[in-house]
Structure 1
Amino acid sequence: MAKFRGEVIEVINRNALISLALTRGYVAYLPVYDPGIDLILYSEATDDVQKVQLKSRLTIAKKYQGRSIAIAFPDRGSWYLVPHDELVRIAEAHGYTASRSWIHGNEYSVAPLSKKMAVDLESYRFQSLEAASEKAAEEAGE
């Protein structure tokens, strides 16, 4: 099991994100081939499509710029789903794009979020998985 640990964690995280997306009216589709998109979320009610790249922490990468990709990541028990280019704009305001890893490595990641970054990303935060599970259990019992 140890050699599959990373793959297992990714499946668990993907399923957690899908569960939370369902509470917002999205359905999930898994691409047969992964060209940088781990899953697609679609809301028929709003006709919104989110091409999602799943990460283990806040990550920006130049290879995702201009591709209409959203980055999903957990932090301290919360999940965030942020359009990548918006995440770069917010990261720039925090000085992350002035880092050596962004300038020379074309990527930057950080965990945990600073309090200021968490505030700036609040509108992109999902309710907790516990709250979503409790609500689903209550509705199932009605």
Structure 2
Amino acid sequence: MRLERIKYTELNARQKENFNFQKLSAVLADYGFVTMRLSDDWQGADFIAHHVDGSTFLRVQLKGRLSFYKKYTGKDLWVAFHEGGSWYLYPHDELLGDVLKLTGIGSTVSWSHRGGYSFPRVPQRLQGFLSKYRISGDAHPIAR
């Protein structure tokens, strides 16, 4: 069998989500996390990240971009997305409070009537603020 790299752009939405879960899992491994994919959005989470300390569990929602939703508030969710070669992992409610203060999303139709808002790209004014949630990792195996 000859393995060939796939083209991400040719994947369907579900395949892209699975692909991104695997990529993010590799990065989270560098931070001591093991991930467990959930078959449905359990309490808003796509997967659980369990830390090697034995006591830290993160319920994570995987998104295609910086996003906030009213339905996620109060659920202790973390949101992960990829942009520009970096992954971001942030506590939804904590960052939502700050973003509502720093931007005008709270007065948009998307937020007020549809219950959510996502940024096509991280706005310049939020890039520095969001940098503390940037994570990076190496998907290469450790040499022995």
Q: What TM-score does the superposition give when structure 2 sets the normalisation length?
A: 0.84
Show CA shifts across 1:63-105 (max 9, x none). 0000001111111121111111012112212222222211111
**Residue of structure 2 in register with 1:38 after alignment:** 46
- What is the identity percentage for the equivalent residue pairs of Structure 1 and Structure 2? 31
Please give the alpha-carbon distance, in whole angstroms, between the structure 1 residues aligned to 2:82 and 2:11. Answer: 20
Is residue 2:59 matched to residue 1:51? yes
* SS of the residue 1:56 aligns to: coil
Question: Partner amino acid for 2:24?
Answer: L
Is residue 2:93 matched to residue 1:118? no
**Higher strand proportion (structure 1 or 2):** 2
Give the ranges of 4+ consecutive aligned residues of structure 1 lying more than 6 Å apart after TM superposition: none
Q: What TM-score does the superposition give when structure 1 sets the normalisation length?
A: 0.85
Please give the alpha-carbon distance, in whole angstroms, between the structure 1 residues aligned to 2:17 and 2:38. Answer: 15
**Higher helix proportion (structure 1 or 2):** 1
Question: Partner amino acid for 2:77?
Answer: I
1:61 touches 1:107 (CA, 8 Å); kept in 2?
A: yes
* SS of the residue 1:38 aligns to: strand
Can you give the 5+ residue segments of structure 2 that lack an aligned partner in the other structure?
Answer: 1-8
Q: Structure 1 residues 59, 17: CA separation in 2 closer, same or farther (over 3 Å shift)?
A: same
**Residue of structure 2 in register with 1:27 after alignment:** 34
Can you give the 5+ residue segments of structure 1 that lack an aligned partner in the other structure?
Answer: none
Q: 2:84 aligns with which of 65, 76, 81?
A: 76
**Residue of structure 1 in register with 2:3 after alignment:** none
RMSD of equivalent CA atoms:
2.0
How do residues 11-26 of structure 1 correspond to structure 2 at under 5 angstroms? Answer: 11-26=18-33
